């Protein structure tokens, strides 16, 4: 059986590969970007909104309703 001798195979050394140096890449500096300050935004205060209080609503009391019972 023919066996391939890997000692004679040319191997690419990664030390010779050109790597992109990210230190030279221009990065957007977010510190100079204008951010909307939500602290100055007017928020609707729900504590001042009138809420319908269901405890004061008159409910129909079915216990006092007369039910007609049909007796055939």
Render pLDDT for 30-71 as a digit per residue (tens, 0 to 9).
Answer: 666 666 666 666 666 666 566 666 665 665 566 655 556 666
Backbone angles phi, psi at 13, to 5 degrees: -90, 125
Rounded distance between C-alpha atoms, residue 8 and residue 15, angstroms: 20
If DSSP states are collapsed to H, E and C, what string results for 39-53? HHCCCCCHHHCCCCC
pTM confidence score: 0.12
Tokens of 39: 């602290």
- The domain segmentation of the chain, as residue ranges, is 6-64
């Amino acid at each position: 059986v023919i066996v391939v001798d890997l000692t004679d195979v040319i191997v690419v050394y990664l030390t010779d590969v050109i790597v992109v140096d990210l230190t030279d890449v221009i990065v957007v500096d977010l510190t100079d970007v204008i951010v909307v300050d939500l602290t100055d935004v007017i928020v609707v205060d729900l504590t001042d909104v009138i809420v319908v209080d269901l405890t004061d609503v008159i409910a129909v009391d079915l216990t006092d309703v007369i039910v007609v019972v049909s007796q055939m």
